[in-house]
Amino acid sequence: MDPNNDHDKFYHPYQPYDIQLDLMKCIYNTLQFNNNNNSTDNKKICILESPTGTGKTLSLICSTVTWLRDNKQHLLSASLQSNEIDTDSDSDSESDEPDWVKESFQNDSLNDKIDQFVAFESHLNKNINNINSLLPQTNLKKKLKSSRIDIEIEDSEFIPTPYNDTTQQQQDNKTILANQVKSLLNKIDTSHNNNNNNNNQLHNPVKIYFASRTHSQLNQFANQLSLPNFPSSFKQLQTERIKFLPLASKKQLCINPDVNKWNSLEAINDACYELRHQKGGCPFYKVDRDTSPFTDEVFQSIHDIEDLYTIGEKHKMCPYYASRDALPGVEVITLPYQYLLSETTRKAMKLDLKNNIVVIDEAHNLIDTINNIHSSIISLNDLKVCQLGLQNYLTKFKLKLNPGNRVNLLKLLKLLSILIDFITKNFTKPGIPINNINDIFKDNNADTLNVFNLIKYINVSKVAYKIDTYIKSLTNNDDDNNNDNNITKKPTLFKIVSFLTSLTNPSKEGQFFFDVGPSIKYMLLEPSKLFEPIINDAKCVILAGGTMEPMDEFNDVLFPQLKRNQIVQYSCNHIIPDDNLKTFIVNEPGLEFTFANRNNLSLINDTLFQFYMNLCDNVPRKGGIVGFFPSYQFLGNVINNWKRNGLFNKINNKRSLFYESKNGKDPLNEYAEIINDPSNEKGAILFAVVGGRLSEGINFQDNLCRAIVMTGLPYPNLLSGELQIKKRHLEMKVEMSNKTKPDDQKQDAKIVVKNFLDNLCMKAVNQSVGRSIRHINDYSVIILFDSRYDRDNIKNKLSHWVKNRIQPQRSTTPLMVSTKLFFKGKNTGH
Ligand code: SF4
């Protein structure tokens, strides 16, 4: 490898570290392998761990886009040669050309096609200066968002359009007709699209789909994508722009103030649907739209979601639908998890993963996310709120509703009371399965209710968002405006509809059961079935994250059908020098913070207290100490005991002690203020809870955390309904596998369940301790304060960069000596 060769560096905008180069090589080689072995039996998938601060996003971008451009160049030159040979020999077109070449190039010479690419780039060059000045700067973008809320909704807007029995029939007919028209249009679509949208001729052979969890992570990807300078795929092109499109929901992209005033995504979707199907429709949307001015502008440079909104406003064109028209010409697409992970959404959005690259970032929670997207829950409280709200709604608007709406809403009211009755009478404790869902309707005089028809009514009438917004206006409860998280709370009536849909169409991979609340939950138990089509379709799936250990969980739960040699696991070391991090495991007799030991006062008031007192003496005052605890209950117990015995004050006198509580104030700001105050000589400690507000997404960099302590092992609560059901499911799987004799099955099931719980626990530990080192110059000590961390089955599930730095000291006294020396070496003025 030549360090001065840009291609060998994957056009990384900076001088990449060795670990970044290794990671990029791993990705590039896997893509190349899959490209050469295009069979599902051999296809490899990547699981990559690259700790925060090691430039993961840039490594992903540089390796995949370099491969994309190489591949395009390779396909083109291969096709040019084959074209010349074909022309000479006049052979038929049954060549080895890839499908995209056959489809895109069959009627034109390839040189003509290259001319089109060149012409398209020069077309994009025009007016480029006019555009960027129109786009809002970051601060303005935020204001722009907030100006889109809090517009008053008139009473008349809560009333659905008249509904009657024929409305459904008309709707069905419309759907049939629409499908027929669609299929006819598809046949003549090539010429139609070519007239309207120049870029659609320029299909890209392979696209990269990059999915992440939050809006800010997707915008961060867009920012980083503009940093590298990739060469063009063809020598005839001086520069070739990356055709990038960030996909987003109507909540982020709707530019119609009459629609985007509704405050949930579900409401905006329904209001948009209703408006588009009314006479006059939405002024920003036309079926035979020519969206090329929008697409041209989007492709001129790298734009984020807020830019798309502005470009749509400028052209008076709905950015949500115009984005969909831009898809054929796109090379790189960012999208929220839901768009990628739900087959229904993929189909609705026309996202074709076939032969494309799928990168899933922040994938440590992928299994939970797939389960959540395909699960539904209703609580007794939701049902009661909805029942009361619907009663009020009917009282207020009854005379304005036509009979079709009135009758169906009364049926909905009846269904709500049946569900309320069922939960009230049958809930005993969380985790009890409901094996026959028809029991809900038994003995309830429910024969006049047809749940299918009721769901159809709600879907067709689009009444849910009106009632839901009305109910919300009564309670003044606006909790849906979480702009940084793609997974927002569903409005109550939509939750009920989604539950009813699971009820009428349960998958055999799921289970209904009673959960806390009380509530009824439908939970997906086999996410692999829903992930399999993604693996089968995509050229390559890459799962990436800062903390991906224990990686075996992905193999077992998400792709059990793959052979071991099809899974490329790669765990980066950290970019920090070796001596910037020390990991200690304290393994002393009796040091086990188990559930049984939760009230062991000697452990809490002597061992734990004394440990923190010593640590305060050995970590520099300027450096914060962050202590993680397995649960709010555990931490509350420690704090209460220490307060009762005056121990809290003793520690608090040494360092200001802040702690997280379930419903209390967030202590982070006050803690950070003390740490960042140069005149403060006392320093501070912050106690937080694994899985709590401070364990994910918060950077404890530099002095905010010089020592991180994990007290106990954060095993999930086995008594929770979800875990009971999952445990039972795993046990049944072992039984049904028939691999062992019945006597051994119990033992095998125990091992499987134990491994499952260990994985959950260690995933949470890795997430929490990963908060402490955030960049190359950062340094810290990690202390795992429980003897069980020394067991191989636990230790081996730690992130590699943490495990590789485990120190030989196993007891508190030598640990403290070593810690003191560690910080002396860092010259912190301690
Ligand atoms: S078509 Fe677009 S702009 Fe119009 S209401 Fe729907 S999302 Fe909003």
Calculate mean pLDDT across residues 376-400. 89
pLDDT at 91 over 50: no
SS3 477: coil
What percent of the chain has pLDDT above 90? 46
CB 276 within 8 A of CB 287: no
pLDDT of residue 61: 96
pLDDT at 478 over 80: no
Q: How far lies 708's CA from each of 206, 615, 625, in Å?
A: 44, 11, 6
pLDDT at 135 over 80: no
Q: What is the C-alpha to C-alpha distance for residues 816 and 828, in angstroms, rounded to an integer?
A: 17
Residues 6+ apart with CB under 8 A from 706: 619, 620, 623, 624, 625, 779, 780, 781, 823, 828
For residue 605, name the pLDDT band (cuts at 50, 70, 90). Answer: very high
For residue 267, name the pLDDT band (cuts at 50, 70, 90). Answer: confident
pLDDT at 684 over 90: yes
pLDDT per position as a tens digit, 687-705:
999 988 876 667 788 898 9
pLDDT at 591 over 70: yes
For residue 476, name the pLDDT band (cuts at 50, 70, 90). Answer: low
pLDDT of residue 156: 63
CB 583 within 8 A of CB 807: yes
pLDDT of residue 256: 95
Q: Which residue's CA is the closest to the ligand 1 atom numbered 4?
A: 282
Calculate mean pLDDT across residues 442-459. 76
What percent of the chain has pLDDT above 70? 82
Q: Which residue's CA is the closest to the ligand 1 atom numbered 1?
A: 285
Query: Which amino acid appears at position 69 of this protein?
Result: R
Write 187-193 long-range contacts (CB < 8 A, 24+).
Answer: 193/328
Cα(215) to ligand 1 centroid in Å equals 20
pLDDT at 477 over 70: no
CB 502 within 8 A of CB 278: no
CA 383-389-394 angle, 5° bins: 125
- Break the chain down into helix, strand, coil percent, rounded to 5: 55, 10, 35
pLDDT at 557 over 80: yes
Cα(624) to ligand 1 centroid in Å equals 49
Q: What is the C-alpha to C-alpha distance for residues 761 and 690, in angstroms, rounded to an integer?
A: 10
DSSP state of 188: H
Calculate mean pLDDT across residues 104-129. 69
Calculate mean pLDDT across residues 503-524. 86
Calculate mean pLDDT across residues 437-464. 78
Q: Where are the beta strands (DSSP E) in 312-432?
A: 332-336, 357-360, 376-379
pLDDT at 142 over 80: no
Calculate mean pLDDT across residues 63-71. 94
User: Comparing 783 with 181, which gets the higher pLDDT?
Assistant: 783
Cα(277) to ligand 1 centroid in Å equals 11
SS3 471: helix
Calculate mean pLDDT across residues 110-131. 72
Q: What is the C-alpha to C-alpha distance for residues 341 and 374, in angstroms, rounded to an integer?
A: 9
Q: Compute the chain's Rg from CA coordinates.
A: 29
The atom of ligand 1 lying closest to the CA of 319 is 2
User: Comparing 73 with 355, which gets the higher pLDDT?
Assistant: 355
pLDDT of residue 830: 44
Q: Is the CB of 318 under 6 A from ligand 1?
A: yes
Q: Which residue's CA is the closest to the ligand 1 atom numbered 7?
A: 254
pLDDT of residue 480: 44
- Mutation choice for ligand 1 from 255, 289, 316, 317, CB with most ligand atoms inside 8 A: 255
Residues 6+ apart with CB under 8 A from 440: 418, 419, 422, 434, 503
Q: Is the CB of 255 under 6 A from ligand 1?
A: yes
pTM of the entire predicted model: 0.84
pLDDT at 657 over 50: yes
Q: Which residue's CA is the closest to the ligand 1 atom numbered 5?
A: 272
Q: Which residue's CA is the closest to the ligand 1 atom numbered 6?
A: 272
pLDDT per position as a tens digit, 211-229:
998 888 898 999 999 999 9
pLDDT at 387 over 60: yes
- Mutation choice for ligand 1 from 269, 285, 315, CB with most ligand atoms inside 8 A: 285
pLDDT at 632 over 80: yes
The atom of ligand 1 lying closest to the CA of 253 is 7
Q: Which residue's CA is the closest to the ligand 1 atom numbered 2?
A: 318
Q: Which residue's CA is the closest to the ligand 1 atom numbered 8?
A: 254
pLDDT of residue 102: 56
pLDDT of residue 171: 58
Q: What is the C-alpha to C-alpha distance for residues 382 and 377, in angstroms, rounded to an integer?
A: 10
Cα(449) to ligand 1 centroid in Å equals 35
Calculate mean pLDDT across residues 238-243. 88
pLDDT of residue 738: 66
pLDDT of residue 262: 85
CB 556 within 8 A of CB 779: no
pLDDT at 793 over 50: yes
Calculate mean pLDDT across residues 76-89. 58
pLDDT per position as a tens digit, 281-310:
999 998 888 888 999 999 999 999 999 999
pLDDT of residue 453: 84
pLDDT at 177 over 80: no
Cα(174) to ligand 1 centroid in Å equals 20
The two three-digit tokens of residue 24, written as one number: 């990029």
pLDDT at 147 over 80: no
CB 244 within 8 A of CB 326: no
DSSP state of 304: -
Q: Is the CB of 259 under 6 A from ligand 1?
A: yes
Q: Is the CB of 285 under 6 A from ligand 1?
A: yes
Cα(664) to ligand 1 centroid in Å equals 40
Rounded (10°) angle between helices 632-644 and 647-654: 100
pLDDT of residue 13: 92
For residue 184, name the pLDDT band (cuts at 50, 70, 90). Answer: very low
pLDDT of residue 441: 80
pLDDT of residue 773: 84
Q: Is the CB of 275 under 6 A from ligand 1?
A: yes
* Other CB atoms within 10 A of residue 281 CB: 12
pLDDT at 174 over 90: no
pLDDT at 103 over 60: no
pLDDT at 759 over 90: yes
- Mutation choice for ligand 1 from 318, 325, 349, 462, CB with most ligand atoms inside 8 A: 318
pLDDT of residue 488: 44
- Mutation choice for ligand 1 from 252, 259, 294, 315, CB with most ligand atoms inside 8 A: 259
pLDDT of residue 188: 39
For residue 814, name the pLDDT band (cuts at 50, 70, 90). Answer: very high
pLDDT per position as a tens digit, 326-373:
888 899 999 999 899 998 889 888 899 999 999 999 998 899 899 988
Residues 6+ apart with CB under 8 A from 301: 128, 131, 132, 226, 241
Cα(373) to ligand 1 centroid in Å equals 24
pLDDT at 145 over 80: no
The atom of ligand 1 lying closest to the CA of 285 is 1
